[in-house]
Amino acid sequence: MASSTGLTAVYYNPAGLLSGSSTGLRLSLAPSYSDYQKVADAFSRATDISTFLTDNFSSELAAKGNLNALFGLKYNKIGLSVMALPLGNYAADTLASDQTIFIEKGAFALQAKAAYSIRYDYVLTLGRTFSLPILPANVDAGVNLKSINALYGTFAPAALATSAPYTTGTGNGTAFDLGLRTNLEVPILGSAAVGVTMRDLAGQINYTRKQKTYYLNNLTGTVTTSADSDLVDKAVTLDSVTVIGITGQLGTINLGLAADLELDKAGTITHLGLEYPLLSGLILARAGVISGPTTSKTTYGAKFNLPIFSLGAAGIIDNNDKSATAWTFDIGLGD
């Protein structure tokens, strides 16, 4: 988090936008999935749940995946971005999973647990640099003003059920992030960047919900459906997250180190990272670990770094689910 600068910092710490060049463009994409191709083929033949269930009556399907993405522009220390994020547990109805997409279906059955959810935020990032007498370096302060949009749908019939509701929701709301970043002298690391950020403060999503019922006949392999009906609107409050981070270099071997501590109501997640320059800094080799109460991941990757252009890629291994494949891709111009 403390190492993120420019548009990369919009998600991690808005104060990082003040570092780097005054203009920039960035595109980041981070999909994760298991058995994606099988489910993509199944969905390509379907126009709704009815055709999906009947066309894939004989198939066994199991897949899940998430999507993170960011597209941003920066000019004169002001950032405008669009971020796509997993909605997590912030739908107004119980989902089969907190994944962006989840499906689980047995062969020769119409009963399938399926869900999708996505959150996409329009973000205005503003910042200012100021000094404090008690600190040896200037402090960068940043704020993200976020307009939140959310979509979800869930379909989870019980085993051998002859009917099941399909519930959808569309929502919008607001939230903001606050971040600080400065440099301090730290033993071993020397001059190190330290930062703190608080995300999704005063966050709320207001949902409009609809529901229809699907009637399942396993004997004939047919599905019929009712008309849409409106459900009561619901509001969901977002939990804020606080992250504290530090980054610096071991000067004698030029090895970059970074550590973050992420605090939320589910527990504490630790992020540790290493970065080593190759070919006079043209290539940055990276590796890291993420650990928490229910999280254990290993990351590896590299960044091709030029003064006005950068290209990065990384793989993420989920140690709790080896079937899940995750990659991140990052392209930056002048940032």
The string of pLDDT tens digits covering residues 214-245 is: 888 878 778 888 889 999 999 999 999 999 99
Is pLDDT of 177 > 80?
yes
Is pLDDT of 272 > 90?
yes
Is pLDDT of 74 > 60?
yes
Mean pLDDT of 121-129: 94
| Mean pLDDT, the chain, whole residue set | 86
pLDDT of residue 258: 92
* Tokens (6 digits) for 107: 């062969």
> Please, are residues 61 and 37 in contact by the beta-carbon 8 Å criterion?
no
Is pLDDT of 2 > 60?
no
Is pLDDT of 173 > 60?
yes
- The three-point CA angle 92-292-193 to 5° equals 105
pLDDT of residue 41: 67
Q: Is the pTM of this model over 0.85?
A: yes
pLDDT of residue 45: 57
pLDDT of residue 104: 84
pLDDT of residue 208: 97
pLDDT of residue 206: 97
Top CATH class of 6-333 equals mainly beta
Q: Which residue has the higher pLDDT, 66 or 289?
A: 289
Mean pLDDT of 21-45: 71
Q: Where are the domains of the chain?
A: 6-333
* Tokens (6 digits) for 316: 């993420």
